[in-house]
Structure 1
Amino acid sequence: MQPITPFFMFEGNAEEAMNFYLSIFEGASISHITRYGANEVGKEGSVQQAIFTLNGQTFMCIDSPIKHDFTFTPALSLYITCDTEEEIDRLYGALSIGGAVLMPINAYPFTQKFAWFNDQFGVSWQLNLPGKGEGF
């Protein structure tokens, strides 16, 4: 059985989102990208399919040529357990710009420091800095 790969469907800004994520995570890379050509169903030059890696996790994304009545939801989030306060602060500072904060970065009864937000593309993220004996 193949690994499970998270799949993002954007409507015209897949490459912008992918490049944004690649700029934040060290060692991130694009392993494959195909674009729509002239006279194809999608806008010429937009992402037909891309595969990229962040922190060792593979993701896929596309620019949907079809307008949908839905987008991303916080019901499914990308969850990162951070190793240091510097890491959680850096990731929060970069990823939350232009987004919507669901739970501000702070100490909570269940952890040392946590944040939950949607980034500028609508993708939901949870960042956690567990205290000793906490975390996933």
Structure 2
Amino acid sequence: MATQIVRTFLVYAEEDYRFRDLLVNQAKSLRLPVEFTDMPNKQPWVPKWKTTCRTRAFECDGAIVFISKKTRQGEGVKFELECVGETQMPVLGVYVEKGEKPALPDELRDSRVIEWNWPEIASFLQSLGKGSTGKAAV
């Protein structure tokens, strides 16, 4: 039986790209069956960017949102979170700076949020491959 590839949408402020890189490299080093997608160049004022963002989100099984002091300030992040909310996919919020817990975006108020902890992140990713995510249809 082939291993199911889990598609995960990553949401982060542009300034926090290094956490995206850290997560992707950690997953690769452990050979987790996961494929990440994100919108690195935040351009929420461009209609094509919005369309691409929404399409990418709907193609995913779950989302990880990196939370920092910059998260609530970004219009791109705000739109990405709207798209994630529309999909009804499982979401994990991750505080990226040890000991810092900035205010959460409203869109994460009902989501599980943790401090950066690789075992819990890996467990979330693995849980996405265990069946239906209950996502809404595009």
TM norm. shorter chain > 0.5: no
- TM-score, length basis structure 1: 0.28
Structure richer in helix, relative to its length: 2
Q: Which structure has the bigger radius of gyration?
A: 1
Question: Could you say which structure has the greater relative contact order, defined with CA pairs below 8 angstroms and 6 or more residues apart?
Answer: 2
- TM-score, length basis structure 2: 0.28
